[in-house]
Amino acid sequence: MTAISIKIAEQAGCKDEELEILQFAGSLHDIGKIGIRDEILMKTGRLTPEEYGIIKKHSIIGEKIVKKLGLLSIEPQIIRHHHERWDGKGYPDGLKRKEIPRLARILAIADTFDAITSNRPYRPAREPEFAVKEILKNAGSQFDPELVEIFLTTYKQKRLDVI
């Protein structure tokens, strides 16, 4: 997932410093899940609204963990906001559009691609083409449409590690 983020960021013209930040934040983006009970994380069925509310706390927990490492302020922000949505319907803060840090918007696309194409306790992995269609379908609502175009270009050029 981190490698996919880096490829998108390179194509988007990110500087070396931003790539390093993304490398770190991407590697630790879900670290907050260590604070979520295994029976929720590994559940094979649909999550209840209460369980989903608990899962949504992982980005805040992750931010708190990473802040204690004394790093730049951007890494914790990326970890906190990687589930925000372009339309403002994400979590934890309901940020929208460019309020969401750019690197978090890139990470969100890569994380979604990885989530769809990886096995999960509740479903098997899907084909990369399915993931691309889902991301395209959600451009402008869930995802920054400009970054989705960059993702699509990167995918078509077979620059993603999964191809």
The answer as to whether 162 is a domain residue is no
Task: Say whether 143 sits in a helix, a strand or coil.
Answer: strand
The answer as to whether 70 is a domain residue is yes
DSSP 106-139: HHHHHHHHHHHHS-BTTB----HHHHHHHHHHTB
Global pTM value: 0.90
Residues 6 or more apart in contact with residue 75 via CB below 8 angstroms: 21, 24, 25, 28, 66
163 burial type by CB count under 10 A (0-12 exposed, 13-18 middle, 19+ buried): exposed
Q: For residue 105, what is the domain's CATH number?
A: 1.10.3210.10
* pLDDT tens digit sequence for 29-85: 999 999 999 999 988 888 899 999 999 999 999 999 998 887 667 899 999 999 999
The answer as to whether 163 is a domain residue is no
Q: What residues make up the domain containing 20?
A: 2-156
The answer as to whether 114 is a domain residue is yes
